[in-house]
Amino acid sequence: MMNLMRRALVIGGSGALGRSMVEIFRDSWEVTSVDLRENSSAHKNIILNELQKIDDQCESCKRELTGKYDAILCVAGGFAGGSISEPEVFSKIQHLMKLNLFPCVMAGHIATQFLAEEGLIVLTGAAACFKDTTPGIIAYALSKTATHSLALNLATRQDIPATSTVATILPEVIDTPSNRDAMPNADFSKWANPRSIAALVKMWAEGVNRPENGSFAVLKTVNGQIVPEFV
Amino acid sequence: MMNLMRRALVIGGSGALGRSMVEIFRDSWEVTSVDLRENSSAHKNIILNELQKIDDQCESCKRELTGKYDAILCVAGGFAGGSISEPEVFSKIQHLMKLNLFPCVMAGHIATQFLAEEGLIVLTGAAACFKDTTPGIIAYALSKTATHSLALNLATRQDIPATSTVATILPEVIDTPSNRDAMPNADFSKWANPRSIAALVKMWAEGVNRPENGSFAVLKTVNGQIVPEFV
């Protein structure tokens, strides 16, 4: 039976959103988590070595992959604020490119060899940076707009199956412990629940209401439910 | 008299486009070149140490700056082709972020302290990546779309004088020795001449036909003349 299950690769599978993806998908999919730390809920873990160069991390990861994956989901990411006037802006950009852009590049690169026909790639962008300028969080903005550009380029399907779909989720605030700590007075009910995001993505992966190739979906929370708003 | 001259800071002043900027501006401006190598035509050179971290390079540079600059021009840049399917894609992105995005970040960061009222910032983007997806040159595309995003964020003028202007030039192919070597059979007369680009930018810097803040100008070559096409 195992071989008939659909297969998901979750990049960032030990993060706040990644853990929910693994939980929700593992119910009926074979799930491989790729991250710096193990997620014991995944069927298989590929642990990256942070001390390696990123090209080498990706090559090590590829050596542990087998067959084809029906969904390759990149839900890794991180945040830092600060404007261009800060002397640390360069380090912050390098850091957030590593946290936000490079895992998505890894997803795209792996997809060129390992994505199944009619497969789904999901990348994680950011609603705030898609719609407007955000000079107060410049490093984050650059890493996310580069990610949006990556998504558009991947969606040309020059390098992945012509039957596949690239979709980018654009969360506003995700309801994670670190976001609650950072914004203790916010109305958490308006934040996107990670399990609800995962359920939406699983539905897409299973072919229900799958977005058009190249779409960007702002994740709105309406009465506790995630409603994608395509932009 | 010297103190009455307008002052330009040219980041990438020893490159193919930078040398022309220095040549054209030095005629009536005080020109400081910032680069890894000296440009003896500049009035002053600030030589960056490639072995230093980029934050430290920028701080060293700032220690050599004095007063205010009427124009801060970033004309540094580099190119590499290749799609996301290449294992070297990660290194190429890191490399081109360093060559294309970081010098523009340096320009923006320096501008927050050293740009004069009614000053001009010029960043260098890329026409091909502004208008369309370019999956065959993915690393270049990501570095240039991040640069375009930087320009839009800078143009909010949250961190630079409210009277200043941010303009981004979007060259197609610039007529440089390395481009002639790479494309020996092309029609060079359709390429943008670096001296003509410099003359256009100098005109803007002197307040003639200066573009609106936040503009992007594709540099078209019409009968040997550069014609900016605002997009």
- What are the pLDDT digits (tens) for B2-39? 457 999 999 999 999 999 999 999 999 999 999 999 99
pLDDT(A3) > 90: no
Q: What is the distance between the alpha carbons of residues B74 and B60, in angstroms, rounded to a whole number? A: 17
- Give the pLDDT band (50/70/90) at residue B224: confident
Q: A43 to chain B nearest CA, in Å? A: 26
From chain B, the residues in CB contact with A55 under 8 A are: 87-91
Q: Which of A25, A69, A114, A140 is catalytic?
A: A140
Closest-CA distance, B17 to chain A, in angstroms, reads 24
A69 is catalytic: no
Indicate yes or no: CB of B87 within 8 angstroms of CB of A135: no
Alpha helices (H) along B45-88: 54-63
- Paired sense of beta strands A69-74 and A215-222, if any: unpaired
- pLDDT score recorded for residue B113: 98
What pLDDT is stored for residue A223 in this prediction?
A: 86
Model confidence at B111, pLDDT cuts 50, 70, 90, reads very high
User: Are A112 and B85 in contact (CB < 8 Å)?
Assistant: yes
Nearest CA in chain A to B92: A55
Q: What is the set of domains in chain A, with CATH numbers?
A: 6-230 (3.40.50.720)
A182-205 tens-digit pLDDT: 999 999 989 999 999 999 999 999
- Strand-pairing partners, residue B33, are B10, B45
Structure tokens at A80: 């830092």
Chain A nearest-CA residue for B62: A87
pTM score: 0.95
Q: State the ipTM, two decimals.
A: 0.94
Is B150 a residue whose pLDDT tops 50?
Answer: yes
Of A84, A108, A148, the CB nearest to B112: A84
* Chosen from A63, A84, A95 to mutate, greatest number of chain B CBs within 10 A: A84
Task: With beta carbons under 8 A apart, name residues in chain B contacting A105.
Answer: 84, 89-90, 93
Rounded to a whole number, what is the distance in Å from the CA of B176 to chain A's nearest CA? 27
Give B170-174's long-range contacts (Cβ < 8 A, gap of 24+): B170/B125, B170/B126, B170/B127, B170/B130, B170/B216, B170/B217, B170/B218, B170/B219, B170/B231, B171/B124, B171/B126, B171/B127, B171/B197, B171/B219, B172/B127, B172/B128, B172/B218, B172/B219, B172/B220, B172/B221, B174/B16, B174/B17
Q: Which pLDDT band holds residue B1 (cuts at 50, 70, 90)?
A: very low
Starting from the edge strand earliest in sequence, which strands make up the sheet with A225-230, in order? A44-47, A29-35, A6-11, A69-74, A115-124, A165-171, A215-222, A225-230
Kindly state the average pLDDT of the residues A160-171: 98
Looking at CA atoms only, how far is residue A225 from chain B in angstroms? 32
Cβ(B34)–Cβ(B9) below 8 Å:
yes
In the three-class reduction of DSSP (H, G, I as helix; E, B as strand; rest coil), residue A118 is classed as: strand
Please tell me which of the candidates B109, B134, B150 has its beta carbon nearest to residue A142: B150
What's phi and psi for A10, nearest 5 deg? -110, 110
Closest CA to B109 of B144, B154, B162: B154
pLDDT at A180 over 50: yes
Inter-residue contact B230 to B211 (CB < 8 Å):
yes
Across the interface, which of B59, B83, B141 has its CB nearest the CB of A149? B141
